[in-house]
Amino acid sequence: MNKIIVITGVSGMDGSILSEKYLEDSKNIVVGIDVWNATGQYPNLKKIINNDRFVFITGDITEKLFIQDIIKKYRPDYFYNFAAISLVPESFKIPQRVFEINAVAVLNMLEMIKTHSPKTKFYQASTSEQLGDYLKTPQNTESPMFPNSPYAIAKLASFHLVRCYRNAFGLFAVNGMLWNHEGPRRGPTFVTRKITLHIASQVKGNKEPLQIGNMDAIRDWGLADDYVDAQIMMMEHDEPDDWAVNTEEAHSVREFIEEAYKYISKEIIWKGEGSNEKGYDEKGNLLVEVNPEFYRPVEVPYLKGDSSKIREKLGWIPKVKFKELISIMMENDLK
């Protein structure tokens, strides 16, 4: 039988990868939802936009009737919610809009599924950013959470809404709590892609140094393609649950920068401290400098995950770790 899969935020990194994976099966129909933009360009969808089994719909997930119409029309087998304002610094500028999209819209989705399509399996894109100030590691879905941004607070609200609707109404609703995952489709405003794109531009002759914020922030980084496999496993499992997805390794932004430069055979020599820190190559050329404008109002200092639950129960393991992830991104951006 055909499966119908609704994916919000379909033109993003995870949404586009997931769509391609489901469309590999000729029985599946993917209904992709994203915001309208004036250019009409959705580069992450170029492989599937003309696929007869891909339905692309533009709209706003905060419009309750829009979501209701989608659910009533398609009564999907799976509903994946990736749509969000996910850039943390941006959430401090527009906190109300962020809460509407990242939390209230999720409440409406759950209500519409409960009312009109209770057999639909629902996936919520959760995040390690919810942990905030909790520094004890390794961390998982049961760790105390003290979020440090409007983005993370809204995501934590949706995390608890999913748990509530699962327990109260018996919905198959899961939280995929993913630690940082990256790849060639990551947007250029995110720090990892900003780094690899800028280094690639320096190879092509750009003399401007990379402008960076807090290099001491530590993250657990994996490859988006691996993490999308985990999302599919969660939804195909017999029972709904909350899952932590990560590599169980932690590295600083500084290490990410160093490793990315190693890919083009450059060693970084650091000089100065704090906001005055700068990175040079062996010839004394300035390559990196700290810019306090990129500091967050409140930092999340240390994220290192525990993915033992999904490894043991579902058999998921990350195929790509830190150094290989950076190589994949650098190879892509140099091309």
Q: What is the DSSP letter of 133?
A: T
Please say whether the beta carbons of 11 and 41 come within 8 A: no
CA separation for the pair 103, 126 (Å, rounded): 11
- Residue 20, C-beta contacts closer than 8 angstroms, at least 6 positions apart: 47, 48
- Residue 110, C-beta contacts closer than 8 angstroms, at least 6 positions apart: 122, 161, 162, 165, 171, 173
The single residue listed with the structure tokens 């119908």 is 4
Single out the catalytic residue among 127, 141, 192, 196.
127
Neighbours of 317 (CB within 10 A): 12
CA separation for the pair 188, 201 (Å, rounded): 13
Asked about 127 being catalytic, the answer comes back as yes
* Alpha helices in the chain, H assignment, sequence order: 13-23, 64-74, 88-93, 95-99, 105-116, 150-169, 191-203, 224-236, 253-263, 308-314, 322-334
Please say whether the beta carbons of 310 and 230 come within 8 A: yes
Determine the number of helices (DSSP H) and then strands (DSSP E) in the chain.
Answer: 11, 15
Classify 68 in phi/psi space as left (phi over 0), alpha (psi -120 to 50) or beta: alpha
Q: What 3-state class would DSSP assign to 19? A: helix
Please say whether the beta carbons of 2 and 28 come within 8 A: yes
Q: What is the DSSP letter of 104?
A: I
Asked about 151 being catalytic, the answer comes back as yes
Terminal alpha carbon distance of the chain: 41
Single out the catalytic residue among 20, 129, 182, 259.
129
Beta 278-280 vs 242-245: how paired, if at all? Answer: unpaired
Single out the catalytic residue among 42, 78, 80, 151.
151
Asked about 137 being catalytic, the answer comes back as no
What is the set of active-site residues?
127, 129, 151
